[in-house]
């Protein structure tokens, strides 16, 4: 049973007993029941995993690229064979509706591994530029710190490119949602990842995360999480001048142009905001609509929200599950109340659980209209199913407000393509989505400003885990 593995760590090719004794309950957020216990690592546990990764690096990084690609292909094959287990684990640990767990959460892990393999096959790893030889090689030992909201998306986006680049690593999944991480460690073991190349230690950010970030034998930290935690990671890493790649918070603007199909644009924006219970860093949580169309936009948004089915993640037809925890539920409730207190128009939803749900961390799908740029719900990342609709007078005003934020992870523009392209070029965000395109796992993903640095997905992720060496005077090949 995978729950048994939660009381051990995967270090140097084996499941080992933690050196510390701390544990925490793993909660099913839909029921508030404790479904397992997870061991919380100590600094000594982190050190043991780091040293195993360091000892494995010299041999593994010399593997030919083709062999590293073949290793990741074996991981993909086993992941695919155990796909339903991953979907069920994420539905259980984070409350994702089972259809969403299958079609988005488990799929994300699979498709990112596939994209990374394809990019690795197309990448120039070793080539001449005049008489200089350019070589891309693994940076070294990597600490991979991943969040609870997209567990396999982020694990795959870090582990697959790190393995292909020739790195060794220590993964710290979120201790709140550790089931899928333990499953992934089983997959890596079954695929024949050499001892020490991939290690997993569960634990808290202030203990294990801090030790991984500061340890002198770690060459790179790849972190996904809140901006607050990201600054702590960067500060801990600074004395050893290690590379830090971060994918942090967001408050993504969704500009609906005056020439857009308002009904389709608003409906798509509501669906995008409420997906994953609003717990996505790139969710389009600020919707800008022309002032003249504001009242109509609220009507469309209300109807779209009414179609959301909140409830048991395992029940057929459920489209929204709970928030991850009581702490997250309380935070979202406080921010909804701030919207009410600051005078925004409550279009639907509000504080408290949806009708008929008296257990589990379920929030109401909530929409505010008449939001002003200065309101708290327009400035702070909520990380819940809460949409702020802001009226604008000119497109220039919309662009100005969209960019007036400390965040810059994603942005969205709806309208005729030529106009959307022009506006998209003016938005200060790492990824701008025009007219709700399909998810492109080959496009770089990462943020401007306090949304982070570095880029993930496919070849972009591989490059982040590589050093670039110039052999000057190398001559002809």
Crossing angle between the packed helical segments 107-122 and 151-165, to the nearest 10 degrees: 20
Percent helix / strand / coil, the chain, rounded to 5: 45, 20, 35
Residue 62 makes CB contacts below 8 A (sequence gap 6+) with: 166
Tell me the C-alpha distance between 316 and 309, whole Å: 10
281 included as an active-site residue: yes
Catalytic residue among 114, 137, 175, 247: 247
Residue 297: strand, helix, or coil: helix
Tell me the C-alpha distance between 256 and 313, whole Å: 32
Tell me the C-alpha distance between 415 and 394, whole Å: 14
CA-nearest of 476, 404, 406 to 132 is 476
Give the CA distances from residue 420 to residues 114, 238, 287, in Å, rounded to whole numbers and listed in that order: 30, 40, 15
- Contact present, 447 and 429 (Cβ < 8 Å): yes
Catalytic residue among 281, 348, 381, 466: 281
Give the CA distances from residue 328 to residues 96, 137, 176, 228, 365, in Å, rounded to whole numbers and listed in that order: 15, 40, 12, 15, 15
Which two structure tokens, joined as six digits, stand for 299?
Answer: 């009507």
374 included as an active-site residue: no
Q: Which residues are catalytic?
A: 247, 281
């Amino acid at each position: 049973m995978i729950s048994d593995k939660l009381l051990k760590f995967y270090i140097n090719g084996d499941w080992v007993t933690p050196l510390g004794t701390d544990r925490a309950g793993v909660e099913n957020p839909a029921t508030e029941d404790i479904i397992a216990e997870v061991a919380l690592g100590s600094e000594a546990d982190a050190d043991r995993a780091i040293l195993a990764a360091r000892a494995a690096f010299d041999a593994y990084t010399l593997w030919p690229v083709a062999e590293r690609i073949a290793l990741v292909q074996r991981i993909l094959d086993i992941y695919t064979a155990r796909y339903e287990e991953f979907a069920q684990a994420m539905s259980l640990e984070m409350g994702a509706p089972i259809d969403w767990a299958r079609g988005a959460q488990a799929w994300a892990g699979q498709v990112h591994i596939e994209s990374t393999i394809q990019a690795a096959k197309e990448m120039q790893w070793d080539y001449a530029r005049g008489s200089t030889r350019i070589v891309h090689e693994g940076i070294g030992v990597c600490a991979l710190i991943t969040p609870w909201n997209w567990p396999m998306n982020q694990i795959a986006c870090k582990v697959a490119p790190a393995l292909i680049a020739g790195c060794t690593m220590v993964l710290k999944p979120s201790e709140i949602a550790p089931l899928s991480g333990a499953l992934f460690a089983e997959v890596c073991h079954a695929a024949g990842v050499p001892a020490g190349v991939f290690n997993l230690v569960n634990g808290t950010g202030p203990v294990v995360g801090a030790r991984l970030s500061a340890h002198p034998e770690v060459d790179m930290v790849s972190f996904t999480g809140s901006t607050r935690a990201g600054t702590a990671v960067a500060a801990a890493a600074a004395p050893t001048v290690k590379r830090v790649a971060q994918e942090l918070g967001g408050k993504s603007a969704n500009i609906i142009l005056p020439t857009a199909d308002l009904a389709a644009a608003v409906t798509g924006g509501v669906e995008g905001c409420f997906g994953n219970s609003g717990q996505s860093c790139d969710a389009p949580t600020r919707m800008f609509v022309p002032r003249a169309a504001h009242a109509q936009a609220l009507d469309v948004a209300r109807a779209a929200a009414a179609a959301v089915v909140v409830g048991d993640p395992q029940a057929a037809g459920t489209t929204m599950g709970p928030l991850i925890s009581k702490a997250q539920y309380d935070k979202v409730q406080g921010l909804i109340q701030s919207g009410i207190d600051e005078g925004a128009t409550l279009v639907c939803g509000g504080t408290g659980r949806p009708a008929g749900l008296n257990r589990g961390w379920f929030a109401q799908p909530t929409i505010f209209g008449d939001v002003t740029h200065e309101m708290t719900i327009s400035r702070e990342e909520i990380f819940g199913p809460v949409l702020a609709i802001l009226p604008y007078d000119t497109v220039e005003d919309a662009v100005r407000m969209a960019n007036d934020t400390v965040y810059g992870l994603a942005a969205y523009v709806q309208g005729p393509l030529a106009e959307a392209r022009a506006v998209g070029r003016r938005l200060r965000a790492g990824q701008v989505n025009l007219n709700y395109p399909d998810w492109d796992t080959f496009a770089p993903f990462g943020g401007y400003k306090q949304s982070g640095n570095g880029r993930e997905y496919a070849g972009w992720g591989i490059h982040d885990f590589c050093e670039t060496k110039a052999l000057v005077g190398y001559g002809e090949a």
